[in-house]
Amino acid sequence: MKAAVVTTAGAVPEYLDFPDPEVGEGEQLVDLVASAIHPIVRAKASGRHYSSTGDFPLVPGVDAVARTADGTLVYTGDIEEPWGTFAERMAVTLALPLPDGADPVAVAAGMNPGMSSWMPLTTHADEHGAPDTVMILGVTGAAGGLAVQNALALGVRRVIGVGRGMDDLKRVAGLGAEIVEIVGDKGVDAAVIGAALDGKAPDLVLDFLWGGVAEAAFEALAEIPGAHATSYVEIGSAAGEQAAVPASLLRSRPFRLSGSGIGSFDMRRYVVQVAAYVQLIADGKVKVDAHAYPLSRAGEAWTAPAGPRPVLIAD
């Protein structure tokens, strides 16, 4: 079969022949419809992601919309390496039918970045009710923009979006978020985050950045008096793999720090929420910005400038 193949760590995928997937017990063979190039896909292909095997060549891609033998469109993923979803065919266990009228490209582009915030948001809602205030660090990326929409779809009253670049922040403001511009100086950033919070701790923080930005947020939160509970969820680490957490913050208030990633989920709950989120995209309650490329142009899609999420579709 044809596939987009990464031959060595960090290489741009090439459109090459690759062995057909082995179909194990409980699996079925499905055909590619659409699969997106997410940051996690790039990280795994570079060998830097914590889930990378380091074995090459491999077919990248973590999730997809595919077509079953009877013509049903399904959302799928979790494919055993060296196979991935950037291929004409894939052997899958998960096969969640798409609702009628769902756009396969939007589903492929939106599920991975959207679920990264949907899981902690719905977890909070299940445990404590819908949060009143959510602060999002790294709001200008695709996942951050979807996080704003997800929060508002769940009935969050106030969404504070923190990021860099006023043009991108203005776009986020158009989604319904209050915006806070940071500059990369921890003291300055702590001050502007604190000013936006105005003495009221958020119920939930969704952090796509970590690193120094997280430390600025911790500093701002530690200055807020009172005992309002805050759940802080680390989702991404675009600003650094390490962040120092002040002991005083942990001791002075109800503060829960956790991570959100595929290894941290109860998979039964994850599958239920996948179905709910597919429906959210199908209903147009969240908007996904995507650009489709044929599978044979995977290299072009991989090296495309920042913009709409690149999605590979069957030739």
pTM above 0.75, yes or no: yes
pLDDT at position 262 over 90: no
Q: Tokens at residue 260, please?
A: 């959100």
pLDDT tens track for 211-221: 999 999 999 99
CB atoms within 10 A of CB 102: 19
Between CA 232 and CA 246 the distance in angstroms is: 14
| Rounded average pLDDT over 39-65 | 86
CB 230 within 8 A of CB 249: no
The reported pLDDT for the residue numbered 133 is 98
Q: Are 9 and 295 in contact (CB under 8 A)?
A: no
Count the neighbouring beta carbons within 10 Å of the beta carbon of residue 100: 7
Which residues have CB under 8 Å from 199's CB, separation 6+? 224, 225
How many other CB atoms are found less than 10 A from the CB of residue 250?
14
pLDDT at 51: 66
- Please give the C-alpha separations between residue 153 and each of 132, 146, 172, 286, in angstroms, as whole numbers: 13, 10, 15, 8
Contact by Cβ (8 Å): 83, 62: no
**207-248: pLDDT as tens digits:** 999 999 999 999 999 999 888 999 999 999 999 999 999 999
- Give the mean model confidence (pLDDT) for residues 274-300: 96
